Every structure is written in structure tokens, then in C-alpha cells.
Structure 1
Amino acid sequence: MQKILSKVAVAAIATAFATEAMATEWNVSVWGKRRAFTEHIEKLAELVSEKTGGEFTMNVSYGGLSNNRENLDGISIGAFEMAQFCAGYHPDKNRAITVLELPFLGVSDLKEEVAVSHAVYAHPAVEKEMAQWNAKMLMTSPMPQYNLVGTGEPRDELSEFEGMRVRATGGLGEAFRAVGGVPTSVTSSEAYQAMESGVVDTVAFAQHAHLSFGTINQATWWTANLNPGTVNCPVVVNIDAYNALSDEHRKVLDESVSEAIDYYLENYAKLLKRWDDVLAEKNVQKVMISDEELANFREVAGKPIHEKWIADMSAQGMPAQELYDLVFKTLEEHRASN
């Protein structure tokens, strides 16, 4: 009887160790607080846990693991398994995807943003560049066109952008620089303080960020239709961690991405529907830029910046024209299929 019990005990211990070995726990580094911008990550964590019976879990940390500008570095050394970052925070580290931050690309909605982002992410040049950081692209964090909030008199003519201190990163910053603005790339978390202290006059964000980081509370006006472009913020995973997943867990992760993105799009649509109510509640004036002024903006800050990007990236050995053309080819194909 004692031998039988011993065998049962050994089997139980072995089963416990096997279960422990099968369990996968990932740490995920994001920043700020939970908001529309992170809902696909939260949904992904929920999905992989549900589909694996709790064997694969993700702990989403809002700033507890790293700051947003160092998330890619953290991925490279395996400090955590998944992270979100924005291309404009360190364009020298992710040159290929900065094509997605060029101003006036003509992307009209979030579904188009997903399509062009994922097409570019799948390009070999992007995969190769990200591999230098031991990072694999998983999914994008699609955002609508950025617009400005500001204080004082509304700026509705390009001449009024001269000397305007604006929080804007990447291609957006270059667009405002082209019309006389003075861009600064303070992080999203620092934008409210920069606006409050007068370091910047205006802040360029998508709607969710104006809400989440409080810049809308400082604003007296908002440009409803400037639409100069947006930023591109991928979610990446550490290549070693991804490869270490069991086949089952890797399949669950990959197949859950589209569901997480769909959830994100549905959630963001609700936010956009109530945006006008938010402006009214906070007594923020909606500023409409004239068609003539918008055309002038595109003329100065569109094609010239595109051409400069292609020339600069080509000189660095990147297939810049190929990446640029891929954006417009994907837009065309996406619209044709819809």
C-alpha cells in the first residue's frame, strides 16, 4: 500500500511540474493608463487566457516596467515579452515604419490604417530592422488623424502657425515645421504639463489621447479638420519569447490578433461618436480650416516631405520607394475590396 501511495504521490508531483512547465506568463509594457489606445492589448490578454484555459497569461503594466521611449530597448534585452511603442519616439531605431508617419498620406479611417500598417510591417525590410532589436511586429495600434488643441485665439490660417510651439512627433512635427511651427517631441505623458506651463501652445493628438492625458482640459479650441496625419504605434513581441511558445500557444496568439483589432475598432468608434459631446461639455470651440488653407498646407507639408523621406531613407540603404509605394498600393487594394 505504501508503495502504491508513493507512486501516486510521485505522479501527482510530476503532473504539477508538467502543468507548471506548460504555463506561460508574459509581461507587457505600455504607458499612461488604460484607454482606447490600449484596448486591443487588454483584449488580446483576455483572449489568450480564455483560449488556453489560463495556461497563457499576460500582465499588462502601465509604466511599471519601462517608460515609453525605452520599450523597444526593453524588448531587445528580454526585460519583458511584449511592448507598445511609437515610431516617432526613436525614428533612428525603426526607420522603415516611419513611412507610416508621413503627413497627408490620405488614409481616411482606422480600417485603412490597419491595412497599410500591417502591410508595411510584413515587408522584409521592416522584419529585418526589427530583428536587430530582437522584436517581431505583432499588430498596430490604429489611430485617427491627429488634430490640434490650443489656448487663446484659434489658429485657422497657416500664417498663424508661424512660431507656434506644438507637441508633435515624427512626420507630423516635420509638417508643422514646414509651415513655420516649432515642434517638440515631449512624450504623451508630459504633454499636459508642457501645455499648462506654456512650453507648448498647442498639442497634436488623436481624440482618445486628448482625453486620456488631459490636454482637452487646457484647451479653448480644437481643429476639427486639419487632419495632417497620425503616428504609428506598433505592438511587438520579443522574438525569443515568441519562439519559446508552444505551437498551441503561438497559434492562439497569432489567431487572436484580428479579434483584438476588431474589438479596438468597435471601441474607438464609440469614443468618436461622443467626441462632439465632450467638446460641448468642456466648452471647447470647434475650428474648421478652409479648403484653401488645407490645400496650402498639403502643398507645403505633403509632397516635399514625402520626397525628402524617400531620398534620405534611400541614402541609408532602405528600400524607401518600395515602402512608400506599398502604402498607396495597399490603400487602393483595400478600397477595391470594400
Structure 2
Amino acid sequence: MKTITKTAVAALLGMSFVGEAVAVEWNVSLWGKKRAFTEHVEKLAELVSEKTNGDFTLNLSYGGLSNNRENLDGISIGAFEMAQFCAGYHADKNPSITVLELPFLGVSSLEEEIEVSMAVYNHPATKADLGRWNATLLMPSPLPQYNFVGVGEAPRSLDDFEGLSVRATGGIGRAMESIGAVPNSMSATEVRQALDSGVVKAVSFAPHAHMSFGTIESGEWWTTNMNPGTVNCPVVANTDALNSLSDEHREALLSSIPASLQHYVDNYNNNTMEAWGPALDERGIERITYTDEELDSFRSAAGSIAKTWVEENNAKGLPAQELLDLVNSTLAN
């Protein structure tokens, strides 16, 4: 009988040995293309590989592993070890973190978005909520306030959104409903075609996504200051895969998160926002700015959304008011 060596066994298992240590590869499910929204995951992969001398690698896949709306499902069954998703794509699957998508929370920077997200992620109810999907929250993908790029006649007052079909997910969608717009929660990869075909007349995104998904190539106007809120798009790991890592590899992964987030923030503030204004100017996109009085009216119209969110999620067994209070207290501090 032939002796099967460790190397042969490792090859059969899709892994390789370096001395006695197993070289681990994780598959990471993303979508779209490399952009500001994925810079922290790109940086995380770089740092993990550096810290482990290549023994632990993150293989980033932009759409090759799963549909973006199915990333959480893929995590739950171990189809891949890490993924990014947005809470508003399937609010029923992750109700705890939808508190971070409520409109007009008052988040004013990416740094604040990170702080408030991590506070919610570390709450026991949130951990249990995502634990139903065998998912461990690692870090957010902090985004600035959303605004709309649209086609056709520009809504020069907020009343002009009455009856307008818009792409808006989560709390932003609810806020737009409060002023008579008709929200559609399609995913980012569907948006350009929907805008070009007239399915929607306006799209809410952060600046990087307007550029990455091409809405500014069709767009004719942009709202500068509606700022109804943002979306929350965490990066998660399959809990079993995370627990199976060696102490060294787990430390390499978790200790790299702060630097990865800092890289993300620096890139967004210094590169993406620097490019945004010129991108609008080059395409002749009109800027629409609303008065303080109109925005106060908008906030007033949307004022019941947080209360409704608390009532709905209390009914699901979540400590919803406690999560909302955590958001507010974190911002206050």
C-alpha cells in the first residue's frame, strides 16, 4: 500500500501545508467591481496576507460566487467564508441592523457611521439576530448620506417628488414615501438599466456608487442636500469558519480591521469626494438644492418612521427601542 503523505492529503482537501501549519484560503463574495465601497475588504486581504506571510489569504470575488441579495444565505450554508451585503436588501433577515438605515439619524461623517455601526453590531441582540445565519459581523462599509441622481424634469421642490418612481431602499425608501415618491428597492447592479429604461426616474446612492454604477452617465440632475439617510452594508464571516481559524490567523484577521476601515475612510474622503464635483461638472449635471424650510418639512413628514420601526421590531422580539437608544446615545457621545 502506498503511503499518503501530508502534502497529498492537503492537495486532496484543497489546502497546502507549510511545515506543520495549514495554509488557509477564504472565499469572499462581493459584487460590482473594485471601488470605494470595497476598499476596506481589499485592504483587509492585503494585511492578512502580509501578517501571515501568505499562509492565510482572502480570495475576493466580484459576483462570481453569489448574487448580492443572496450573500447572507451563502454565508449561512458555508458556500463561502466572508461576504458583504446590505441590510435593506432583505430587512426581514437582519432586522436588528436596519435601525442603522432609519432616516435622519444625524450621522455626519464616515467616522461616526463606523462608531454607531460597531455599537449596534456588538449588541447581544444583533449578534443573536445574525447568528441565525451563522454569521459574525466584522465591520461596516461606512457610507455618506445618500442623494438622488435623476432624469427628466428636475424636482425643484420636494413636492415635485409626488408620484416619482425612485430607487431607494430601507429607511430612505420609507422617507421618500412620506413625501409621495414611489420607492423601488432594486439592488445596485440593476439600477443603471432601470434608469435608462424609465423604470425609475431617480436613484439614491452615495457618490461612489453613482460613479461606479453609471447613473451619472444618464443623469441630468442631482440633489445636493436631501440627506435622508444611508444604507448599512456589513462585512460578515461564516461563524464556523471564523472559529476554526488558528489563534494566529484569527488575530491577523481581527487585528487588521481598524487599519482597513481607516484606509477606507481616507480613500473615500480624499479620492472619491475629490472626484465627485468634477464628475458632475464634466457631464453638465444640474445641482438641485432645497431650502431649510423644505428639509424641515421633509423630516417632519418622515418623523413617525422610527416609531413604526420600533413597534414592528418589538413585535418580532427585538429590543428595538434599546437599539434605537443605543444609536442615539452613541451619536450624542
Q: TM-score, normalised by structure 1?
A: 0.93
Sequence identity (%): 59
Q: How does 1:149-160 map to 2 (within 5 A)?
A: 149-160=149-160
1:291 is matched by which residue type in structure 2?
Answer: D
1:71-98 alpha-carbon deviations (Å, 9 max, x no partner): 0000000000000000000000000000
2:218 is matched by which residue type in structure 1?
Answer: Q
Q: Taking structure 1 as reference, are residues 156 and 75 closer, same or farther at Cα in structure 2, changes over 3 Å only?
A: same
Segments of structure 2 that go 5 or more residues without pairing to the other structure are 11-15
Q: Residue 291 of structure 1 aligns with which residue?
A: 292
Q: How does 1:62-211 map to 2 (within 5 A)?
A: 62-211=62-211
1:227-265 alpha-carbon deviations (Å, 9 max, x no partner): 000000000000010001000110111100000000000
Q: Find the residue that maps to 2:330 and give its secondary structure.
A: helix
Q: Taking structure 1 as reference, are residues 44 and 100 closer, same or farther at Cα in structure 2, changes over 3 Å only?
A: same
Shift of 1:19: 3.8
1:284 is matched by which residue type in structure 2?
Answer: I
Q: Residue 13 of structure 2 aligns with which residue?
A: none
Structure-2 separation of matches of 1:241 and 1:115: 26
Q: Taking structure 1 as reference, are residues 280 and 242 closer, same or farther at Cα in structure 2, changes over 3 Å only?
A: same
Q: Taking structure 1 as reference, are residues 12 and 69 closer, same or farther at Cα in structure 2, changes over 3 Å only?
A: closer
Structure-2 separation of matches of 1:248 and 1:103: 40
Q: Find the residue that maps to 1:274 and give its secondary structure.
A: helix
Matched, 1:26 2:26: yes
Shift of 1:286: 1.1
Shift of 1:21: 4.8
Matched, 1:282 2:283: yes
Q: Residue 43 of structure 1 aligns with which residue?
A: 43
Shift of 1:17: 4.2
Q: Residue 262 of structure 2 aligns with which residue?
A: 262
- The runs of at least 4 consecutive aligned structure 1 residues that moved more than 4 Å come to 10-18
Structure-1 separation of matches of 2:8 and 2:77: 34
Structure-1 separation of matches of 2:299 and 2:238: 38
Structure-2 separation of matches of 1:246 and 1:22: 9
Shift of 1:274: 2.2
Q: How does 1:195-234 map to 2 (within 5 A)?
A: 195-234=195-234
Shift of 1:317: 1.1
Structure-1 separation of matches of 2:295 and 2:185: 24
Structure-2 separation of matches of 1:290 and 1:194: 29
Structure-1 separation of matches of 2:238 and 2:54: 21
Q: Find the residue that maps to 2:28 and give its secondary structure.
A: strand
Shift of 1:190: 0.5
Please tell me whether the aligned partners of residues 82 and 236 of structure 2 are also in contact (alpha carbons under 8 angstroms): yes
Q: Taking structure 1 as reference, are residues 308 and 212 closer, same or farther at Cα in structure 2, changes over 3 Å only?
A: same
Structure-1 separation of matches of 2:314 and 2:19: 51
Q: Residue 6 of structure 1 aligns with which residue?
A: none
Please tell me whether the aligned partners of residues 17 and 23 of structure 2 are also in contact (alpha carbons under 8 angstroms): no
Q: Find the residue that maps to 1:22 and give its secondary structure.
A: strand
Name which one, 1 or 2, has greater alpha-carbon Rg: 1
Structure-2 separation of matches of 1:257 and 1:66: 24
Q: TM-score, normalised by structure 2?
A: 0.94
Q: Find the residue that maps to 1:259 and give its secondary structure.
A: helix
Q: Find the residue that maps to 2:296 and give its secondary structure.
A: helix
| Structure with the higher helix share, 1 or 2 | 1
Shift of 1:273: 1.9
Shift of 1:156: 2.7
Structure-2 separation of matches of 1:197 and 1:32: 20
1:163 is matched by which residue type in structure 2?
Answer: G
1:180-217 alpha-carbon deviations (Å, 9 max, x no partner): 01001111001000000000010000000000000111
Structure-1 separation of matches of 2:19 and 2:260: 27
Structure-2 separation of matches of 1:178 and 1:14: 60
Q: Taking structure 1 as reference, are residues 11 and 191 closer, same or farther at Cα in structure 2, changes over 3 Å only?
A: closer
Structure-1 separation of matches of 2:329 and 2:43: 30
- What is the number of equivalent residue pairs in this alignment? 323
1:190 is matched by which residue type in structure 2?
Answer: E
Structure-2 separation of matches of 1:11 and 1:268: 45
Structure-2 separation of matches of 1:182 and 1:161: 9
Q: Find the residue that maps to 1:286 and give its secondary structure.
A: strand
Q: Residue 301 of structure 2 aligns with which residue?
A: 300
Q: Residue 330 of structure 2 aligns with which residue?
A: 330
Structure-2 separation of matches of 1:242 and 1:212: 31
Root mean square deviation, CA, Å: 1.7
Q: Taking structure 1 as reference, are residues 128 and 223 closer, same or farther at Cα in structure 2, changes over 3 Å only?
A: same
Structure-2 separation of matches of 1:146 and 1:12: 51
